[in-house]
């Protein structure tokens, strides 16, 4: 039986949970495997590292501490409501998309709404959280 190694393409099913048991993602509920090439850097490095060496059919549980890094208080900013299109429907907790002055895409969550300003949180939604994964290696193929 071959083990997954760098450079190979793999398909996995996984479930991701927080320490309190909250499920943040589950490939089986979407009926779609996560397909990626080991070593390509498209996923969290620790996630890829854990898949290396697994056999097809093997199930493995692991944890990644602060997988998306710590929360950055400087990523929470206030912007004028006027920066949004006229008639925009603001709602606390909603995600909004925009671009930086240099044209880079960005996503933020609305933390609060004031008379003239909106507080936006640009941290990744899972920043500062430890993530628990249960992964099953479904398939291995070359490159």
Report how many domains make up the chain. Answer: 2
pLDDT at 101: 80
What is the four-CA torsion angle of 69, 93, 34, 4, rounded to 10 degrees?
20
Inter-CA distances, 48 with 14, 66, 111, 142, Å: 12, 16, 33, 16
Per residue in 21-66, pLDDT tens? 999 999 999 999 999 999 999 999 999 999 999 999 999 999 999 9
pLDDT at 119: 97
* CATH (domain of 12): 3.10.50.40
116 and 132 belong to one structural domain: no
Domain that holds residue 59: 8-68+126-142
User: What does the DSSP 8-state code read for residue 143?
Assistant: -
Contact assessment for residue 125 and residue 69, using Cβ atoms and an 8 Å cutoff: no
Tell me the C-alpha distance between 57 and 40, whole Å: 22
H or E element that contains 34:
strand 34-37
53 and 104 belong to one structural domain: no
92 and 59 belong to one structural domain: no
The model's pTM? 0.81
């Amino acid at each position: 039986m071959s083990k997954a190694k760098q450079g190979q393409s793999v398909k996995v099913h996984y479930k991701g949970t927080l320490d309190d048991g909250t499920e943040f993602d589950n490939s089986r509920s979407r009926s779609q495997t996560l397909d990626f090439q080991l070593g390509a850097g498209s996923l969290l490095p620790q996630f890829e590292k854990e898949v290396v060496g697994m056999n097809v059919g093997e199930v493995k549980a692991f944890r990644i501490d602060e997988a998306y890094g710590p929360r950055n208080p400087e990523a929470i900013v206030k912007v004028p409501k006027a920066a949004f299109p006229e008639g925009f429907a603001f709602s606390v907790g909603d995600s909004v998309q925009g671009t930086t002055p240099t044209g880079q895409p960005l996503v933020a969550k609305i933390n609060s709404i004031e008379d003239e300003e909106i507080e936006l949180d640009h941290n990744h939604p899972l920043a500062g959280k430890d993530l628990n994964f249960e992964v099953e290696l479904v398939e291995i193929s070359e490159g």
